[in-house]
Amino acid sequence: MQLWFEQALLPDGWAADVLVTVDGGRIEAVARGVARPRGAAAYGAAVPGICNVHSHAFQRGMAGLAETRGPAHDDFWTWREVMYRFLDRLTPQDVAAISAQAFAEMLEAGFTRVGEFHYLHNDVDGRPYAAVGELADAVVSAASETGIGLTLLPVFYAHADFGGAAPKPGQRRFISDPDRFAQLVAHARSAVRGLDGGGVGIAPHSLRAVTPDELAAILPLAAGGPVHIHVAEQAREVEACLAWCGARPVEWLLANAPVAADWCLVHATHLTDAERMGLARSGAVAGLCPITEANLGDGIFPTRRYLDEGGRIAIGTDSNIQIDAAGELRALEYAQRLAARSRNLLAPAQGDSVGAALFRATLAGGAQALAEGPQGLQAGASADIVALDLGHPSLIERRGDAILDGWVFSGGRDAVEAVWRAGEPWVENGRHRRRGEIAARYRATLRRLLAA
Ligand code: ZN
C-alpha cells in the first residue's frame, strides 16, 4: 500500500510530498519530494499516531453525569461516588460495548494505542467471575473490534486507604489478592496474543490501594513490561500518606520502589521541588491527564519546570469525559497559562511552537510508557499514521509546526481526516469504519443502564 501526503512530520522534521510505503502493518519506506504516483491515495499532513497512556474505558459511559452541584463540597471524592454507582451493574457485554465506543473515539481523535488501566475484575456482587479474565476479555474484544493498539494494564487493588484499610462496598468489583492477580496477568498475556501488537504491563492502583508488601510481591509480574500507578492526584491523598508514613506519595515511591524508565506515574499532580526533580531524574514518565484533572479539580502539574529538568511526559484521557488528543495538549498548556497569567509556556525556546513541542514530547513519552517499538514515520516502525485535513478551516495554508499549532489550539478532533493503525485504515473522513454498529450498541447499552 502506498500513501502520499502533502506534508509529513518525519523523525528529523517536516517534509513535503512524502510517499509512505506500508507492508505487513509496518512502514517499509518513506520517500520525500516525490510526485504523487498514479493510484496512491493522497492526504493532507501525516503525523505519527500517539499513545493514550491512561484510560478507564468504561467511564466513557458516565461522561457528564457528575456535573450537578451536590449538597456540600464537590471534588474528586464525590465524583468517585457517582462512578461507583455507575459501575454497579455493568455486565461483561456492557464493558465491551462501552469500551468499543471509547476506543473508536480514541482512533478518531488521533490516538493509535491505549494503555487501559483495567481495574474492574469482579461480578456485581463482588464475587470473582469463574473466569479470572472475564472483564479483561471484554476490553480485549473492544480493542480487536476497533483496531486500536492495546497495552493492557491489569490493576492490583486491595484496600480503601493507606495502611491496608479494608475495602469499601463500592470497591468490591476491584478487589484482588496477589495470587489471583498473578493469574489475571498470565491470562492477560495470553488474551492479547490474538491482537496485532498487543502488550501487557501491570498497575498497582495507588499507594492507597496497595501495601508496600503487596507492591513488592506483584512487581516481578511486570516481567520487564511497564508499571503504571496513580499517585499524588489529590491533596487529601498527600495528607493521608504523610499521616501514614511521614513521607509524601511520590517521595515514598522514589525512595522505596525501583522507579525508572519502565514506570509511569499517573497524575503526580502534587509535588515538592525535590519530588519534581527526583521524578525527572528517575527517567520515569509522568502520565498527565489534563482534561480529566481539570474536570475533577485535581490541581496543576508543574509542567514547565519539570520539562526544563528533563522530565518525560505522556498524556491520557483517564475518565474519558472528552476524548481528544489535541484537546489534552491544549488543556496542558492552558492550565499553565491561567496559573502564570502568561502565554506560550511549554515551548522550550524562543521561536519554538507550543503545539509541536507538546506533540513531540508526548509522542516519545507515550511510546516509552507503553513500551512501544520504533516510533514515528520511518522504515521499520508500525504504520500508525494520522492524516490531518489541510482543508480544515484551522489548517489552511499551514506549513510545518504551524499545522500542529492549528490542530492543538483550534481544529481538535475535527481536523483528523484518516487514521491507520498497523497499516489498517480504521478511520476515513473522520469516522471509524465501524462507528455505526459500535455506536448503535453503545446507545442501546446506555439506554438500558441509565433508564434503570
Ligand atoms: Zn485513572
* 82 pLDDT higher than 90: no
Q: Which domains does the chain have, with CATH numbers?
A: 2-48+376-436 (2.30.40.10), 51-369 (3.20.20.140)
At 71 the pLDDT is: 83
At 137 the pLDDT is: 98
Mean pLDDT of the chain, nearest integer: 96
* 81 pLDDT higher than 90: no
At 88 the pLDDT is: 87
Indicate the Cα dihedral angle 395, 399, 401, 406, nearest 10°.
-10
List C-alpha distances in Å: 193 to 79, 148, 223, 366: 35, 14, 16, 21
Taking 3-state DSSP, the helix, strand and coil percentages for the chain, each rounded to the nearest 5, stand at: 40, 20, 35
CB 418 within 8 A of CB 43: yes
* Mean pLDDT for the stretch of residues 287-304: 96
Give the C-alpha separation, 96 to 194, whole Å: 16
Q: How far is the CA of 267 from the centre of ligand 1 (A)?
A: 8
| Phi, psi for residue 288 in degrees, rounded to 5 | -95, 140
Q: How far is the CA of 111 from the centre of ligand 1 (A)?
A: 17
* 74 pLDDT higher than 90: no
Q: Which residues pair with 334 in a beta bridge?
A: none
Give the C-alpha separation, 188 to 202, whole Å: 10
Q: How far apart are the first and last CA of the chain?
A: 48
User: Grid coordinates in use for 309?
Assistant: 529538568
Q: How far is the CA of 57 from the centre of ligand 1 (A)?
A: 10
Q: How far is the CA of 280 from the centre of ligand 1 (A)?
A: 21
Q: How far is the CA of 54 from the centre of ligand 1 (A)?
A: 6
Strands 41-48 and 385-388, bridge-based pairing: antiparallel
Q: Which residue has the higher pLDDT, 167 or 452?
A: 167
Instruction: Render pLDDT for 308-330 as a digit per residue (tens, 0 to 9).
Output: 999 999 999 999 999 999 999 99
* Mean pLDDT for the stretch of residues 88-92: 93
Q: How far is the CA of 33 from the centre of ligand 1 (A)?
A: 43
User: Measured at the alpha carbon of residue 270, what is the angle toward residues 265 and 262, in degrees to the nearest 5?
Assistant: 15
At 452 the pLDDT is: 66
At 84 the pLDDT is: 84
Q: How far is the CA of 376 from the centre of ligand 1 (A)?
A: 27
Instruction: Render pLDDT for 173-201 as a digit per residue (tens, 0 to 9).
Output: 999 999 999 999 999 999 999 998 999 99
Catalytic residue set = 267, 318
Give the C-alpha separation, 354 to 331, whole Å: 12
Give the C-alpha separation, 68 to 406, whole Å: 33
Q: How far is the CA of 449 from the centre of ligand 1 (A)?
A: 22
Instruction: Render pLDDT for 242-262 as a digit per residue (tens, 0 to 9).
Output: 999 999 999 999 999 999 999
Give the C-alpha separation, 121 to 203, whole Å: 13
Q: How far is the CA of 174 from the centre of ligand 1 (A)?
A: 13
Confidence band for 375, pLDDT divided at 50, 70 and 90: confident
Instruction: Render pLDDT for 118-132 as a digit per residue (tens, 0 to 9).
Output: 999 999 999 999 999
Q: How far is the CA of 56 from the centre of ligand 1 (A)?
A: 6
Instruction: Render pLDDT for 385-403 as a digit per residue (tens, 0 to 9).
Output: 999 999 999 999 999 999 9
